[in-house]
């Protein structure tokens, strides 16, 4: 079986050329997230892809660490930057980042439905955030409106057409985020078939369990 990064390496160039399908919603998510930044903020984004969101946000914070498992995606991201000294791209999975509470804001955009273990990922986000820190995420909840993908997805993955995708409802996602020690303060979903954008606050000192 190929490494999970192989799929993203293969599609990176095409992905980078694809325009954002819903610019208005994307700009809204940027604006809402930015409300939680200060010039002193330490920000971490995992699953950053070709760096579009990181490049938008980095000028507004002290330091922005953006990671992805795809070296090809990151190469494109680095080529896109214009000497932003406070923006660092690193090839890593979220579990590779040392689990110390050092970030004020963490972003997981278009990634939670792609991780292997949702609960483990959320627990690590919790560990990496300072008390009262913010976790902003945008996630396709495939069981809400895309139930057919449960049957098509495995075949597409076997053919190299799709990555591994987890099937869950928005209600499940929210319950797992809350169980991981967060309070959801903001919800945005332009239509039922669009990604769910959530802003959550770390409310407990240690991840449950």
User: Bridge partners of 65?
Assistant: 44, 88
DSSP structural state of residue 94: G
5-202: which CATH architecture?
3-Layer(aba) Sandwich (3.40)
Confidence of residue 168 (pLDDT cuts 50, 70, 90): confident
C-alpha 82: how far from chain center: 23
- Quote the pTM value: 0.91
Query: Tell me: the pLDDT tens digits for 87-130?
Result: 999 999 999 999 889 999 999 999 999 999 999 999 999 999 99
Determine which of 2-6, 113-117, 148-152 has the lowest per-residue pLDDT on average.
148-152
What per-residue confidence (pLDDT) applies to 202?
A: 98
Residue 156 has pLDDT above 90, yes or no: no
Residues 170-204: pLDDT tens digits? 999 999 999 999 999 999 999 877 899 999 999 97
Q: Domain extents for the chain?
A: 5-202
Distance CA 39, CA 8 (A): 32
38 CB-contact burial (10 Å; exposed 0-12 / middle 13-18 / buried 19+): exposed
Spatial contact of 18 and 110, defined as CB atoms under 8 Å apart = no
Give residue for tokens 């591994």.
164
Taking each helix axis from N to C end, the angle separating 118-128 and 170-179, rounded to the nearest 10 degrees, works out to: 40
Residue 161 above 50 pLDDT?
no
pLDDT band at 56 (very low <50, low <70, confident <90, very high): very high
What is the pLDDT at residue 99?
A: 83
> Residue 206, Cα to own-chain centre: how many angstroms?
21
The gap from C-alpha 198 to its chain's centroid, in whole angstroms, comes to 11
| Tens-digit pLDDT profile for residues 70-91 | 999 999 999 998 778 999 999 9
Residue 158: band (very low, low, confident or very high) from pLDDT cuts 50, 70, 90:
very low
């Amino acid at each position: 079986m190929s490494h999970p990064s192989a799929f993203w390496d293969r599609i990176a160039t095409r992905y980078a050329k694809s325009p954002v399908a819903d610019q208005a919603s994307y700009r809204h998510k940027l604006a809402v997230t930015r409300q939680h930044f200060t010039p002193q903020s330490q920000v971490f984004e995992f699953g950053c892809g070709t760096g579009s969101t990181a490049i938008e946000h980095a000028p507004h914070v002290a330091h922005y660490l953006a990671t992805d498992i795809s070296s090809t995606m990151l190469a494109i991201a680095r080529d896109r930057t214009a000497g932003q000294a406070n923006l660092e791209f690193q090839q890593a999975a979220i579990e590779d980042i040392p689990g110390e509470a050092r970030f004020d804001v963490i972003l997981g955009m278009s990634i939670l439905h792609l991780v292997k273990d949702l609960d483990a990922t959320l627990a690590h986000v919790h560990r990496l955030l300072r008390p009262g820190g913010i976790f902003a995420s945008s996630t396709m909840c495939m069981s809400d409106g895309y139930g057919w993908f449960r049957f098509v997805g495995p075949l597409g993955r076997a053919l190299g057409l799709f990555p591994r995708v987890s099937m869950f409802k928005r209600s499940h996602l929210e319950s797992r985020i809350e169980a991981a020690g967060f309070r959801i303060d903001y919800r945005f979903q332009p239509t039922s078939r669009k990604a769910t954008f959530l802003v959550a606050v770390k409310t407990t000192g240690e991840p449950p369990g």
